[in-house]
Chains A and B, each alone.
Chain A
């Protein structure tokens, strides 16, 4: 697999993001140039506050840029209006959030169906739960699930819509080693079997061993990009 033969899914050009906090300006991103290729599994590393979530949110069409451009395939996301961004998220993006963000009043299965109902070519909700190994918890409410189970439901929800890109913000942040591995395996399987372009934020450098490429952020800029030549399975990761 060489980069040159693959389609570029994301391309950012001199991307910056500045938050205005009263008098203070927080420069979360300071000129990021990055390309993500189709089917790629990319891990984003970086210290807390380095701008990882900000970058991922912008790629996912959740946040706007201050300057620079973001292309999804041929489409300039920075030039898209709210309705186009909604459309884009609806049809192309699957999110896994750090804090799960499940709807507490809906069961695991219903949480997934909430999303598949508006998706173009979704998986069956039960199949998605099967992938994360939670088939038998389908009718449980989030409050009746552990943190790791909730996170896996969140992953099932993200993949169930069969997205082109899967964006995960610290999907294992709240999980123990074993569960973390189960969750990562689920993500890797989606990436492998469905060819979903996948970006995963983590603080855990060892996860990087699963990735095709590892992008390191520091202080709002890309500090290094490593191509991983010896990809391992989640089960073989050293934590």
Chain B
């Protein structure tokens, strides 16, 4: 080994504390990056191949009873590569041991024994025999939630008749990687399942021989999807199509896309923060070393080492620290990525979701960390390169200090000598002091950023499910129900309050933008289903005009007072021009609302309802369930509390894991910055400190000089960190604003307190480590050596 490299190794050993702290910050950044990228790659590649292999459709449309005769014309639509028509019905299930009804979505399987698109993957058992009646293939999450295995039987209420179905297989589908019941926003594995049954069975049960009510289309590559949908809608319009939509509006696909966007966001943000901090730490560490070694640098140069060799020597030191951190980070990133993919595997259902190392991201990690650390230390190393050897022979002149502004303002003698030293040390190098403060504040910000998602989710759940929607059950009817049905449901014993709604599929147009959206007619003085503004105040349902949620208004580019065109996609299909009368806040979905009475008038219909919100006496809820199950008109029942609980349970587990690892990473930043700053102050001042000790200052007084600075930095960093954390959280909410959900910028006080606590604790720990070195100062040694 070259002796210069041996020097490097020994310097590294000497610097081990600082090097480890910096390496850990780098490792934390790299780990987050590699974890997100690998999880991204795994999820994305798995999704892509699943979609490909199982022919996930590009365009979807629900329609009324449409004759099979029209299928050839669908296939001729420009851009269409394949068409699948099928029957889809939501029915109630009577599951043994479960009092509340579950909803099954029945999807037909043609005689060929496999769907043409959105093909079914059989995980266990077998595919149903399309020529036999009463066989069903059940989606895996639902089967698992109930412990169903092939051979079990389940009873469904199909078109008013109880039918027993025999489970022959457990399956997955690219269309339901995550199963979310239409009209709700959270997956509820226990109460919503996908059932594949033979086409013959469904045709017979719903009297739909030779007809279909759902179309899926796979597009030829490179075609304009808008045009395809336009033609599709035109063709199906006479049969009651509610409008075609793309994958972007397909809920399982949306969930996956949102997850991927989140991972990508994390892959960008984490390296930016962690490597920024690491670059700064490397800068102060290397600057200090170069100052300390200026006479060594002079000797090297005097003996003919070139500027290049000297520069390379210090860059190598930087790179060794960086590479160790990067390699550790990659390892940790793989482990975390694997864990993350494991967590996804429980949430998203693929035939096989395996962790895949993303080697490109590993290469990028090396590149990023090298660039960050070389940029961070460029000026420090350049100063070593440019150091004229003759000058470096002479010891560095003592730093020039002067009384700071604070001292000049305060009357003389108010500050003790120790405090005065602290103040002067800070004010002498304002840039370094500010960067140290910024570094510590990043630790605070990371903590806030990491925990804010939990706050936001809690707030979102609270807003949506406790403040806005106060019903217990949401019932939908198969066909718009007449007043007598509503009356019956509302007067079931155990129902405390109820509100009926009328919802219709529409397409809302404004200028050149349009959006397929359901408009819900609501009662003006609703108590259960309330519409709120961002300040949680109820918004009065106006007598005329339409109300949009803010996301929809945003997508269409409308504001209150604008006129929008509403094409109703049901029944008589009137086209209405309506004024946007109010905006409401909602954190999920894109929705529109209007006065229910006005909706009936616009549709020229009597008072009918598509569904109802019920508030139920908890003691009588079982009776209500069984009553609802008995009624053929009831298409689905969703139970708000159950859905929330199951969702919170799944998410809470993941969030707790995430949270503990964010706390560790934020701690790493805090310790990294504080320890390095303190360590360097100690090295710069060890002579002063030793001198102070020699002339009789106590250990405590000497420590004030050293730790006072750290304390001042930390105190300044905390409010700054709150602000940066808030700003980053704000950036994150805009980055993750999707049709599916929006994240409110809500940060609980507890999150600020936790962030502060973790950073203060990290500061105290690192200060304590450095402080121990003050008491161990080798007084004679320090004074004897020349620096």
Contact = CB atoms under 8 A, between A and B. Distances in A.
B397 to A, nearest CB: 11
B393 A86 contact: no
Contact of B307 (A86, A98, A99): A86
A106 B393 contact: no
Interface string A62-97: 110000000000000000001100111111011101
A115 B309 CA distance: 13
B304 A97 contact: no
Contacts of B296: 101, 103-104
B390 A103 contact: no
Interface string A126-161: 000000000000000001000000000000010001
Contact of A105 (B10, B302, B393, B786): B10
Nearest to A118: B304
B221 interface: no
Nearest to B786: A99
**Interface size range on A against B:** 35 or more
B304 A114 contact: no
Contacts of A54: 390
B73 interface: no
B269 interface: no
Interface in B255-306: 295-296, 298-306
A161 B303 contact: yes
Q: Which of B295, B303, B388 has the most CB of A within 10 A?
A: B303
A62 B302 contact: yes
Contacts of B10: 105-106
Q: Which of B2, B295, B302, B388 has the most CB of A within 10 A?
A: B302
A63 B391 CA distance: 8
Contacts of B300: 103, 114
Given A62-B389, A113-B3, A117-B3, A103 B304 contact: no
A83 B306 CA distance: 7
Q: Which of B296, B307, B393, B786 has the most CB of A within 10 A?
A: B393
B466 interface: no
B288 to A, nearest CB: 15
Nearest to A110: B3
A114 B4 contact: yes
Contact of A82 (B2, B302, B307, B390): B307
A21 B296 CA distance: 25
A46 interface: no
Given A62-B389, A63-B390, A106-B7, A90 B304 contact: yes
Contacts of B7: 103, 105-106, 110, 114
Nearest to B293: A103
**Contact-residue size bin, chain B (C-beta under 8 Å from the other chain):** 20 to 34
B408 interface: no
Interface string B358-402: 000000000000000000000000000000111001000000000
A218 interface: no
A114 B3 contact: yes
A165 B388 CA distance: 21
Contacts of B2: 117
Given A89-B304, A97-B393, A105 B14 contact: yes
Given A103-B296, A106-B7, A89 B303 contact: yes
Contacts of B132: none
B6 interface: yes
A82 B10 CA distance: 29
A102 interface: yes
Contacts of A62: 301-302, 388-390, 393
A171 interface: no
Nearest to B305: A118
A89 B299 CA distance: 11
A97 B390 contact: no
A180 interface: no
A56 B11 CA distance: 31
Interface string B153-190: 00000000000000000000000000000000000000
Given A62-B390, A63-B390, A101-B393, A115 B303 contact: yes
A39 interface: no
A97 B299 contact: yes
Contacts of B389: 57, 62-63
A60 B302 contact: yes
Nearest to B3: A114
Contacts of A115: 303-304
Contacts of B3: 106, 110-111, 113-114, 117
Contacts of A99: 295, 393, 786
A3 B303 CA distance: 29
A157 B302 CA distance: 12
Most buried by B among A87, A97, A105, A119: A105
Contacts of B305: 86, 90, 118
A119 to B, nearest CB: 8
A94 B304 CA distance: 9
Contacts of B307: 82, 86
B387 to A, nearest CB: 11
Contacts of A103: 7, 296, 299-300
A86 B4 CA distance: 17
A78 to B, nearest CB: 15
B295 A101 contact: yes
A86 B304 contact: yes
Contacts of B393: 53, 57, 62, 97-99, 101
B11 A105 contact: yes
A34 to B, nearest CB: 18
Q: Which of B3, B300, B390 has the most CB of A within 10 A?
A: B3
A94 B4 CA distance: 18
Nearest to A102: B299
Contacts of A53: 393
Given A82-B307, A87-B304, A106 B6 contact: yes
A103 B389 CA distance: 15
Interface in B407-451: none
Interface string B224-250: 000000000000000000000000000
A111 B785 CA distance: 18
Contacts of A157: 303
10 tightest CB-CB pairs across the interface, nearest first? A90-B304, A63-B390, A105-B10, A101-B299, A114-B3, A89-B304, A57-B390, A62-B390, A62-B389, A86-B306
Given A89-B303, A114-B4, A118-B303, 5 more contacts: A62-B301, A62-B390, A97-B299, A115-B304, A117-B4
28 contacts: A53-B393, A60-B302, A62-B301, A62-B389, A62-B390, A63-B389, A82-B307, A83-B306, A86-B304, A89-B303, A90-B304, A90-B306, A98-B393, A99-B295, A99-B786, A101-B295, A101-B302, A105-B7, A105-B10, A105-B11, A106-B6, A110-B3, A114-B7, A114-B300, A115-B303, A117-B2, A117-B3, A118-B305
